[in-house]
């Protein structure tokens, strides 16, 4: 039943493409009726109606022509990210029933404490060990924060630790590492441009989705990027001793997991080791990237 209704939903777009006058006049052969119309002095009325319909059609064609654009950069990235999440729903396993963990409220408090305000994020809990966590870009100051339920459980993370894990992802997203990599593919060339072809060529979207997957599941973050993020974390947590302790505890837990468990073996493929981050956080190593 729901799909029937959905189809109805599609057809409402089609219905909007004709005015009532157009529908009335469709299929009427005015040529054959010419004599009768002349006799009844209705021909002027018909001419007026036909003129009005022509004008509406011209306006509509103009309007459709104006819409022959690929989405703007501002509209495209949020759409692409959502599309990637939708196409990877089965892999990421985000569509499952879960309790309210109270993470949103806690993360909001932590972000306010460290001065990251006027932001809006969407946390999406994933039921897989493919990724520990990852931030996906949308508009400025917002994005999707993926968080693995098995990762939270395996490491027995506290709300502070979870919030700091997500904060680290937010900083990576602020650094636009994923966004830049996607743009460097050259596949954003059409974004915001007028369509030159009769039929839009959207193959670049599939290619971008493939790059998106490669970056999230295989490439991750390099040493330089991780170093920058770790230093930013260090700066943000200055004056918040409790949060700093939790951050060190989080990195220690991840570091232990690296050596003791086979779970999340992807972690070190995606991110430089937590042990290295702990070293970078030592006061003597804080100046520049080694």
Instruction: For another protein, give the closer residue by CB, 104 or 278.
Output: 104
Does 152 engage in binding with another protein (CB under 8 A)?
no
**Candidates 38-46, 91-99, 171-179, 256-264 — which segment interacts with another protein by CB under 8 A?**
91-99
Does residue 75 belong to the site contacting another protein (CB under 8 A)? Answer: yes
For another protein, the closer CB: 42 or 64: 64
3-class DSSP state of 199:
coil
Residue 97: burial class (beta carbons within 10 Å; 0-12, 13-18, 19+)? exposed
Write the CB contacts of 112 (distance below 8 Å, at least 6 apart in sequence).
none
Select the residue interacting with another protein from 18, 49, 71, 223 (CB under 8 A): 71
By CB under 8 A, name the one of 49, 60, 122, 240 that touches another protein. Answer: 122
Contact partners, residue 157, CB within 8 Å, separation at least 6: 151, 165, 250, 253
Residue 82: Cβ-neighbour burial (10 angstroms; 0-12, 13-18, 19+): middle
One residue of 49, 60, 119, 159 binding another protein per CB under 8 A: 119
Residue 11 found at the interface with another protein (CB under 8 A):
no
Distance of closest approach, residue 145 Cβ to another protein, in angstroms: 8
User: Is the Cβ of residue 33 or residue 124 nearer to another protein in the bound state?
Assistant: 124
Selected binder of another protein within 44, 57, 120, 286 (CB under 8 A): 120
CA-closest candidate to residue 181, choices 77, 48, 290:
77
Q: Does 212 bind another protein (CB under 8 A)?
A: no
Least distance from C-beta 154 to another protein, angstroms?
21
The residue (of 75 and 258) whose beta carbon lies closer to another protein is 75
For another protein (CB under 8 A), the number of binding residues is: 52
Q: Are 96 and 127 in contact (CB under 8 A)?
A: yes
**Residues 22, 34: Cα–Cα separation, whole Å:** 19
Contacts 24+ apart (CB under 8 A), 48-56: 49/21, 49/25, 50/25, 52/21, 53/19, 53/21, 53/22, 53/25, 56/19, 56/21, 56/22
Decide: is 94 part of the binding site for another protein (CB under 8 A). yes
Select from 35-43, 46-54, 94-102, 151-159 the region that touches another protein (CB under 8 A).
94-102
d(CA 223, CA 271): 8
- List residues binding another protein (CB under 8 A): 1-3, 5-6, 8-10, 12-13, 64, 67-71, 75, 79, 82-83, 85-87, 89, 94-95, 97, 100, 103-104, 107-108, 111-112, 116-125, 144-145, 195, 199-202, 205
């Amino acid at each position: 039943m729901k799909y029937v209704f959905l189809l109805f939903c599609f057809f409402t777009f089609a219905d909007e493409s004709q005015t009532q006058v157009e529908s009335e006049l469709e299929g009427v052969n005015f040529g054959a009726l010419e004599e009768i119309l002349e006799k009844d002095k209705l021909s002027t009325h018909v001419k007026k109606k036909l003129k009005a319909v022509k004008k509406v059609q011209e306006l509509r064609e103009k309007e459709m022509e104006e819409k022959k654009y690929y989405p703007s950069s501002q509209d495209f990235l949020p759409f692409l990210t959502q599309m990637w999440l939708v196409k990877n729903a089965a892999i990421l396993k985000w569509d499952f029933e879960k309790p309210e963990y109270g993470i949103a409220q806690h993360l909001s408090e932590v972000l306010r404490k460290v001065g990251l305000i006027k932001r809006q994020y969407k946390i999406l809990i994933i039921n897989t060990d493919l990724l520990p966590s990852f931030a996906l870009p949308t508009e400025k100051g917002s994005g999707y924060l993926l968080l693995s339920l098995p990762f939270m459980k395996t490491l027995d993370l506290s709300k502070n630790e979870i919030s700091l894990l997500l904060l680290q992802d937010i900083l990576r997203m602020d650094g636009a590492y994923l966004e830049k990599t996607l743009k460097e593919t050259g596949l954003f060339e059409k974004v915001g441009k007028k369509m030159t072809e009769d039929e839009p060529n959207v193959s670049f979207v599939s290619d971008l989705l493939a790059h998106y997957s490669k970056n999230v599941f295989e490439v991750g973050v390099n040493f330089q990027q991780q170093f920058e993020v770790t230093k930013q974390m260090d700066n943000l947590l200055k004056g918040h001793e409790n949060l700093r302790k939790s951050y060190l505890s989080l990195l220690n837990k991840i570091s232990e997991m690296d050596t003791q468990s086979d779970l999340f073996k992807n972690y070190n493929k995606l991110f430089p080791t937590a042990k290295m981050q702990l070293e970078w956080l030592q006061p003597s190593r804080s100046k520049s990237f080694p």
